[in-house]
Amino acid sequence: MSDIRYVIISDLHFGAENSVLTDLHVGRAEVNPKVAGEVMHGLVECLRELVANNDSWGRPTLVLGGDVLELALADDHIAAMVFERFIELALAHSERVFDDTVYFVPGNHDHHLWEGARERHYAEFVRTIPKDQDITPPWHATRMLTDEDDAPVTAALLTALIQRDERTADVHVRTIYPNLGLLDATRTRAVVYHHGHYSESLYRLVSTTMGILFDLPAPKDAWELEAQNFAWVDFFWSTLGRSGSAGADVNLTYDYLQSPRATEQLVDNLVRGLSHNFDHGVMRRLSVPLEEVLRMSLDRVAHHVIARERRHTERVLRDDTEVGLRDYVEGPVQRQLARECDGNVPEHVTFVFGHTHKPFVGTRDYAGFHGPVAIANTGGWVVDTVDPMPLHGAAVVLLDERLAGVLLEMYTQHDHDADYVVRVHAIPGPGAEEFAASVRQIIADNPEPWNVFSAAAAKAVRARERDLALILERTEARVSDPETATAPSMPATPSPPTTPSPPTTPSA
């Protein structure tokens, strides 16, 4: 068998109630962060089984592909503790699954981890600039080829969480954003990973608005795209839900957006409130119906949020997402790859992304490449709807030392437990079919951990569907009778930690 060199996994959403990797207290949809659930146990055991068959390479590098911590809909400390449970299984175990350097490519739900890492890295850089020199502007992207970066960015929080355990004190997490590039030894084959949010127009909202208002061209480079949109992505998808007591109301808003009826009521409330607090004088002079304008605008924003790719059930990608993906790969990805590969795009390129929660493999014909670009999606580990969606599920991408790829589809959602089966798909490219055959053989030789995982996944998906149904039921009740609906309770705010005293200087 080809040795597994990289393991890419994304959209874990640790800490989210609807993540199948987050354990819940029995009988209620409340996270139990001190326990690693059955699905998490099963996933790590399956990966351990695969890695144990490596011959010469040793342990592979883990790539955490974004939306690892749920920072939009979960408390920071809860998400952090669930992440620690995963680390205990995968890295603190006597038989480590992964290497001591972990790559982290932030997504939209943990984008704020990138902002923190970026600003810390920039501060350290500024410290090195001589006082008589101008300060360099801050950057919004890293190098794609992180192994060739002489000043890598540390993922401070993830590293700190891992190193709290003395068994993993040697493990470091390196942040690469928004694109991670991997090259084979011949530099003729590349795999590029991006979380996937910039394939959707919702996350390019600021660039689109600026283009309309000021007739500006779309950003051509990854750093420019991020520089224009980072505040919007960070605000709405990574920080707003953590805004103290207001965060509970933001989470309630996300619940409203799960239901068309509740969304309509939410828009009505916003229109009435904004109209009441707005000076109508100018609008009357222009003969513009304010409430109609507000309703059209808010309906459009709500539609974009509701209709984002992960809610689309008929195909793996909607037409507009296909266009967005093409524009991103042909533009920022191709330009960055060529720039960091001495002007030459490698002969074989694979693009891997997550975000949509719908795992699949395929090829696309994109301009600027030598041939079709292989595509793989890592899916997601959350349940977004009450009813099963067969296109939705979770997968892991495995790459061997030649960067041949396999999509290990851990599950997709189904009505019947018997349909929860791990499947192996070759990612189009040289050597992939042989690599896939060897992975299938490992599973066939010892099916027990895989069967245990599948049973746990089926059970967890059904439980999350029931929980989501209860959430929607409560949301609909708030719409029907908002005056009597019970507001969400908030935990007591903890006191800020005291600053430790400096050590006493010993006397001479």
Q: What is the CA radius of gyration of the chain?
A: 24
Least confident of 13-17, 92-96, 260-264, 381-385: 260-264
Beta-carbon count within 10 A of 102 CB: 21
Tens-digit pLDDT profile for residues 320-330: 999 999 999 99
What are the structural domain ranges in the chain? Answer: 4-198+348-461
Interstrand relation of 360-364 and 189-194 (parallel, antiparallel or unpaired):
unpaired
**DSSP tag of 402:** T
Q: Look-up: residue for tokens 């090829």?
A: 363
- Whether 482 shows a pLDDT value over 80: the answer reads no
Mean pLDDT of 374-396: 94
> Per this entry, what is the length of the chain?
508
Residue 256 phi, psi dihedral angles, 5° rounding: -60, -40
Token pair of 395, please? 């997968």
Highest mean pLDDT range out of 303-317, 426-440, 470-484?
A: 426-440
Rounded to an integer, the average pLDDT of 374-388 is 94
String of DSSP letters for 298-366: HHHHHHHHHTSGGG--SSSS-HHHHHHHHHHIIIIIHHHHHHHTTT---SEEEEEE-SSS--EEEEE--
Does residue 151 or residue 453 have the better pLDDT?
453
- The string of pLDDT tens digits covering residues 122-167 is 999 999 999 999 999 999 999 999 999 989 999 999 999 999 999 9
Question: Would you call 423 helix, strand, or coil by DSSP?
Answer: strand
Using 50, 70 and 90 to split pLDDT, how confident is the model at 286? very low
CA–CA dist 493, 488 (Å, integer): 15
Contact (Cβ atoms closer than 8 angstroms) between residue 228 and residue 207? yes
Contact partners, residue 70, CB within 8 Å, separation at least 6: 13, 14, 15, 16, 19, 79, 109, 110
CB 389, CB 413: distance < 8 Å: yes
Predicted confidence (pLDDT) at residue 12 exceeds the cutoff of 70: yes
Write the burial class of residue 3 (CB in 10 Å: 0-12 exposed, 13-18 middle, 19+ buried): middle
pLDDT at position 289 is: 56
**Of the spans 80-84, 262-266, 383-387, which averages the highest pLDDT?**
80-84
Which single residue is written with the structure tokens 């239901």?
A: 259
**Predicted TM-score of the model (pTM):** 0.86
- The answer, yes or no, to whether residue 107 has pLDDT greater than 90, is yes
| pLDDT for res 354 | 98
Beta bridge pairs of residue 351: 192, 375
pLDDT tens, 230-262?
999 998 888 766 655 555 544 545 554 555 555
Q: Is the pLDDT of residue 56 over 90?
A: no
Whether residue 180 contacts residue 101, with contact meaning beta carbons closer than 8 Å, is answered with no
The answer on pLDDT for 317 being more than 70 is yes
Q: Which long-range contacts (CB under 8 A, 24 or more apart) does 318-322 make?
A: 320/201, 321/199, 321/200, 321/356
CA distance 321 to 489: 38
Task: Check pLDDT > 50 for residue 492.
Answer: no
Mean local confidence (pLDDT), 30-59: 95
325, two tokens: 């993906």
State how far the Cα of 103 lies from the Cα of 173, in Å rounded to an integer.
Answer: 6
- Cβ atoms of 337 and 320 within 8 Å: the answer is no
Higher pLDDT residue, 308 or 282? 308
Per-residue pLDDT tens over the stretch 209-223: 999 889 999 999 999
**Range 107-111 average pLDDT:** 96
> What is the per-residue pLDDT for 57?
83
pLDDT reading at 202 higher than 70: yes
pLDDT (0 to 100) of residue 204: 94
Q: Is 195 within 8 Å of 113 (Cβ atoms)?
A: no
| 487 has a pLDDT exceeding 50 | no
Instruction: Say what the pLDDT of residue 314 is.
Output: 74
Residue linked to tokens 């709290």: 164
Q: Do the Cβ atoms of 344 and 368 come closer than 8 Å?
A: no
Give the pLDDT confidence score for residue 29 in this predicted structure: 73
Mean pLDDT, to the nearest integer, of 400-414? 98
Compute the average pLDDT of residues 441-461. Answer: 97
Q: What does the pLDDT look like over 75-104, one tens digit per residue?
A: 899 999 999 999 999 999 889 999 999 999
What per-residue confidence (pLDDT) applies to 483? 57
What's the mean pLDDT when you consider all of the chain?
Answer: 86
